[in-house]
């Protein structure tokens, strides 16, 4: 990409085709570009800003708060590109909005999982930092997502997420012709016994990059399947979108209260 090497923010970003001013400080990150419509239907108003490859972006307001959404496509490599390029144009808060498979039997299809941290089974984050570096969600984003789920009266769970690179072999499913990757027959049970809540494909990379760069990030996913009970339905997609959108509005209020109180971190002594 041609551009000013001293100021990468001066150029339209190569993949997302966005420039400074095109997006809000907080961006929701669904995988599926079609999920952008599900999200923006909840907002006060919006305008589509770009659509290049899997990266579709809209910016608007929700409950009067500026907010944007950029789809990332499937998997951590493309999600990391979105985080990289959005950060370069001023974004400081990222919330993954997606679907997942639950691996704890008490989790029902349609429930929400709010990620507190992630198992880095994907490979993208390992290109950035050593393998024992933790993928941890921002406590402020987790708090805002929990508050939003409570206010909307949606069933939710807070816990650890495993992010994989492969939808089939990497998540303990059989591949073409019945192929089974080494360890796939025990993967789900081992994760379940370690109290991991769910499996998806992007959260670990998003959280890792956000921490490396000193940014805020979190994730909320709708349970489409329970890998223990065998239940499967594409249900609850709009709930995750609604919770994430409200969480951004709550984060804006939290930031305002922090500024007024003269503190840099949100804590239980503050109220919104």
Q: Judging by DSSP bridges, how do beta strands 26-29 and 216-226 pair with one another?
A: unpaired
CATH number at residue 74: 3.40.50.1580
Beta strand 55-62 pairing with 216-226: unpaired
Q: Does any domain span residue 1? A: no
CA 207/CA 79 separation, integer angstroms: 11
Q: Does residue 265 lie within any of the structural domains?
A: no
In this prediction, residue 9 carries a pLDDT of 46
In a domain, 260, yes or no: no
Contact 224, 232 (CB under 8 A): yes
What span, in angstroms and rounded, lies between the C-alpha atoms of 212 and 247? 23
Mean pLDDT per 10-residue interval, the chain, length 272 residues:
47 96 98 97 98 98 98 98 98 98 96 98 98 98 98 98 96 94 94 98 98 98 94 88 98 96 92 82
Residue 28 resides in a domain: yes
Active site residues: 15, 85, 173, 227
Structural domain count, the chain: 1
Which pair of structure tokens corresponds to residue 254? 């939290």
209 located within any domain: yes
Question: 116 CB contacts (<8 Å, ≥6 apart)?
Answer: 136, 137, 142, 158, 159, 160
**CA angle in degrees (0–180, nearest 5) for 122-125-127:** 110
In a domain, 241, yes or no: yes
DSSP, collapsed to helix, strand or coil, labels residue 78 as helix
Threshold 0.75, pTM exceeds: yes
160 is a domain residue: yes
Q: Give residue 233's pLDDT.
A: 86
Task: Please report whether residue 271 resides in a domain.
Answer: no
- Cross-strand pairs, 68: 27, 59
Residue 58: name the closest of 28, 82, 84 by CA: 28
pLDDT of residue 77: 98
Q: Is 57 helix (H, G, I), strand (E, B) or coil?
A: strand
Instruction: Specify the DSSP element, H or E, that contains 256.
Output: helix 237-261
The whole domain housing 129 covers 9-255
């Amino acid at each position: 990409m041609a551009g000013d090497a001293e100021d990468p923010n001066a150029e339209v970003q190569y993949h997302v085709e966005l420039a400074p001013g095109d997006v809000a400080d907080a961006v929701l990150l669904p995988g599926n570009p079609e999920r952008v419509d599900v999200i923006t239907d909840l907002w006060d108003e919006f305008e589509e800003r770009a659509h290049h490859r899997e990266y579709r972006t809209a910016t608007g307001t929700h409950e009067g708060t500026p907010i944007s959404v950029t789809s990332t496509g499937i998997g951590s490599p493309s999600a990391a590109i979105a985080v990289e390029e959005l950060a370069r144009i001023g974004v400081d808060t990222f919330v993954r909005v997606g679907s997942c498979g639950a691996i704890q039997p008490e989790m029902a299809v349609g429930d929400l999982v709010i990620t507190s941290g992630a198992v880095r089974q994907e490979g993208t984050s390992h290109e950035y930092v050593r393998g024992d570096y933790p993928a941890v969600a921002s406590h402020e984003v987790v708090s805002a997502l929990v508050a939003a789920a409570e206010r909307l009266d949606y069933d939710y769970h807070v816990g650890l997420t495993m992010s994989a690179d492969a939808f089939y072999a990497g998540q303990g499913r059989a591949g073409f012709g019945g192929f089974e990757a080494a360890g796939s027959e025990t993967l789900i049970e081992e994760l379940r016994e370690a109290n991991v809540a769910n499996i998806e494909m992007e959260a670990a990379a998003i959280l890792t990059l956000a921490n490396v760069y000193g940014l805020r990030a979190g994730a909320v996913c709708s349970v489409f399947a329970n890998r223990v009970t065998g239940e499967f339905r594409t249900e609850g997609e709009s709930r995750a979108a609604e919770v994430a959108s409200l969480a951004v509005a709550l984060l804006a209020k939290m930031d305002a209260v922090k500024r007024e109180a003269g503190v840099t971190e949100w804590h239980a002594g503050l109220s919104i």
